[in-house]
Structure 1
Amino acid sequence: MKITPVLALGACCILICSAQAAKSRTYMDTITNKQRVLSFYKQIVGQRKTELIPEFIVEDYKQHNPTVKQGRAGIIEMINYLKTLPPPPEGAKSPIVRSIQEGDFVVTHLDVQFMGKHMAVVDLFKLKDGMLIEHWDAIQPLPDESGKTVTSTNGTAEIDHSALAENSKLVVAQFYKAIIAKQSANQFIDTAYVEHDGSVFASGGGLVKYLSQPERAIKIYRLIAEGDFVVVQSQFNRTHKTFVFYEIFRVAEDKIAEHWSVEQAIPDRIQPEDMF
């Protein structure tokens, strides 16, 4: 496998995860899919325990990152590469900022600083019977955000489980239905909503206007919700390029109250559908 800068940074982004360690197999059989994924980060990636990979990853693991080999072999190769890097510093803060689960899907949102690079990352995993069977991701370099009150990844992190995921998902689905139909969508945005996407700031027109740009040609693949958080996996076009686009919405009182995103250009040699 060719180790590219993006792959190296993407792999290293989870070196310092501090998720709770897995316990016995009996315990592992009863924990949630989210806990299972966090244990994968901790034990396989953070602690580089390649011997535990068969307990987490199916043999025919499907990988949608074109820089990583398919199957369990791709994970083994990645972890062996990580073993050549310096270990994470003792007591380092976990880069995992948010984790969202719906059924067999688990999404993690990470803030990564590595070798002078600052990255925002979204990982999406699909599980079956407690085993990871499929993976998608996007990695976006970030500018220097030191001193800013609102950054690309800060803000609300705890999920409000008193909120109904079905309702949160409906709000976002209706919002995007209006966007795609070129209809008014401002009614779904709270007047005090917090925007974390620097591109939206740069556009000067707010989230609705930014997403409504005619050249975007949005195609939505998945909506995943837990409590008041909703993740949208989609693609869009810009300057004759197709991008993978992950958005995280926080919904409060039937309005979009907060918004984050991670985007990554799809390589020219890759068909967009292969990354979804």
Structure 2
Amino acid sequence: MEITNLLAWGFCCIYVCACPAVKANTIMDTLTNKQRILSFYKQIVGQRKVELIPEFVREDYIQHNPTVKQGRAGITEMINYLKTLPPPPAGAKSPIIRAIQEGDLVVTHLDIQFMGKRMAVIDLFKLKDGMLAEHWDVIQAMPDQTGVAITATNGSTEIDVSASATNSKHIVEQFYKAIINKNTAADFIELDYTEHDPAVISSGKSLVSYLSDAPQREIKIHRVIGEGNYAVVQSEFKRGGKSYALYEICRIAHDKIAEHWSVEQAIPDGVEAEKMF
């Protein structure tokens, strides 16, 4: 069964009530953009407070998920749907694993489990004047990783805010430049590098080999977002003539990529790829 992004939002919302505590929306003007997004998850998505949508979301909100309506109407429709589902279980663990912010852009990395299925999700929000203005996302069903030490979403979570985000982004940009130009890229990978992508792990290849050994893969970078020692890549690639959206999170250490997570999703047939970016 195909799991749509709309259902993914629903699954996310069932568990998101336990997301990290943030200040109430009554003092929204004092919150960082990251805190605003976490508050949005908690109050609107988790607690289904439809009445607060105008306080968080711009009227001209742009939705890049082709399965969801534009503007506040799309979010309102989703939250009203969630109200028909059972309430979140008490004490549920937050699905939000990582939250990365650069200026008006906030990325969240989620691990969602529902009815025996596990999904990795990366959301990207753009804010304007402290309100949600745009949203992009990708979702990918994960294989059963019960008992596996390195999973699709576990690993490091703390951001070293003393590290240079500019440097982190530069390293990742240079890595992909080498991949795209078919130059040596192994020098950008830390010796004790940790790979979290199940596809890369099961291939038995390094990340460099995995990305380089597919001559038909056409990669286009749309954004690189950084905070401290983390950099997020939003890209598009083609495999076998099919277009995919790919979001990657890289942790940088000693000026090299030390840890890597990714979520990919096929762009639906009939949807212009550019509209998803």
TM-score by length of 2: 0.96
CA contact (8 A) 1:119 1:139 kept: yes
After TM superposition, give the deviation of residue 21 of structure 1 in Å. 4.2
Matched, 1:165 2:165: yes
Asked if structure 2 preserves the Cα contact closer than 8 Å seen for 1:175 and 1:185, the reply is: yes
2: CA distance, partners of 1:22 / 1:143: 36
Stretch moving more, 196-205 or 39-48? 196-205
Q: Which residue number in structure 2 is paired with residue 197 of structure 1?
A: 197
Q: Distance in 1 between matches of 2:156 and 2:93?
A: 17
Q: Which runs of 5+ in 2 are unaligned?
A: none
TM-score if structure 1 supplies the norm length? Answer: 0.96
Report what 2:68 is aligned to. Answer: 68
Equivalent residue, structure 1, for 2:245: 244
SS of residue matched to 1:69: coil
Report the CA distance between 1:92 and its aligned residue: 0.4
Distance 1:229 1:162 in 2: 11
Aligned to 2:94: 94
Call closer, same or farther: CA 1:42–1:70 in 2, change over 3 Å: same
Shift of 1:33: 0.2
Q: d(CA) in 2 for partners of 1:226 and 1:271?
A: 30
The offset of 1:14, in angstroms, is: 3.1
Cα drift, residue 201 of structure 1: 1.6
> Counterpart of 1:29 in 2: which secondary structure?
helix
SS of corresponding position for 1:15: helix
When the two chains are superposed, the root-mean-square deviation of aligned CA atoms in Å is 1.3
How far apart are the structure 2 equivalents of 1:154 and 1:19? 17
Structure 1 residue aligned with 2:152: 152
| Partner secondary structure for residue 15 of structure 2 | coil
Q: Give the drift of 1:170.
A: 0.8
> Which position in structure 2 is the counterpart of 1:267?
268
Displaced runs of 4 or more, over 3 A: none
Q: Is the 8 A contact 1:19 1:94 kept in 2?
A: yes
C-alpha deviation, 1:161, in angstroms:
1.1
The DSSP-based 3-state class of the residue aligned with 1:274 is helix
Matches within 5 A, 1:1-276: 5-17=4-16, 18-25=19-26, 27-212=27-212, 213-276=214-277
2:99–2:109 contact (8 Å) kept in structure 1 = yes
Alignment check: 8 A CA contact 2:4 2:67 kept:
no
Does structure 2 retain, via aligned residues, the 8 Å contact 1:246–1:262?
yes
